[in-house]
Amino acid sequence: GGCCRDSAKGYEVESLVVIPTYNERDNIERIVGEVLSLPFDIHVLVVDDNSPDGTGTFVESWSKREPRVHELHRPGKLGLGGAYIAGFKWALAHKDVRYVFEMDADFSHDPRAIPRFLELIPEADLVVGSRYVKGVTVVNWPLSRLILSYSANLYTRWVTGLPVHDATGGFKCFRRCALEGIRLDKVRSDGYAFQIEMSFKCWKRGFRICEIPILFVD
């Protein structure tokens, strides 16, 4: 299964990083700036849930000066899964977007890892950034939270058969046709379950999944 391979390498085509936000004004300028500073044609879509701290207003004004910054406003705090679905639909409505990232706004996901995703996505349909594929690469978590997360991922693999070590992680890159094949309107989960459902749907439809180690900093 899976999509056709691109003749071009990943870093020669346009990519979109979707970043959901709620009260991320302290982080958003720096995280988006670091993504834009990478030597690739990358755009950023901030999906803001009407942040009281003005995150969405700031990004909206920024987008008027910087053509690679985009803002999607939602009327309230409607959930992480819904924010990503809205961002994915925005991406699919723009035909020049080939690769779509999920990434957090709080620097738990390092923008400097993006080139590695782009290096591998031409040979895959979904690249998953994993905290558990090469040992445990998590910083600043209490042991109890780490055990809970690691055990949840072991349980997920056992129950679903999904061949991914970190099914609950939120640093991913999808090829466009993988998102087109998932039927986004059928995705019902939110939070960590949303991450599991998206990867599971890709796998069940025969899309190729590649997992790479990332450093996750809480």
Query: Does residue 125 carry a pLDDT above 90?
Result: yes
Look up residue 187 and give its amino acid. V
What is the spatial distance between Cα 80 and Cα 66, in angstroms, rounded to a whole number?
A: 25
Cβ(109)–Cβ(214) under 8 Å? yes
Look up residue 39 and give its amino acid. P
Q: Which residue in the block uniquely carries the two structure tokens 């299964």?
A: 1
pLDDT of residue 128: 93
pLDDT of residue 6: 44
Cβ neighbours of 113 (radius 10 Å): 16
Query: Does residue 94 carry a pLDDT above 90?
Result: yes
pLDDT of residue 34: 96
pLDDT of residue 214: 81
pLDDT of residue 120: 93
Query: Does residue 143 carry a pLDDT above 60?
Result: yes
Cβ(125)–Cβ(178) under 8 Å? yes
pLDDT of residue 32: 97
Q: Report residue 114's pLDDT band, with 50, 70 and 90 as the boundaries.
A: very high
pLDDT of residue 137: 60
pLDDT of residue 135: 56
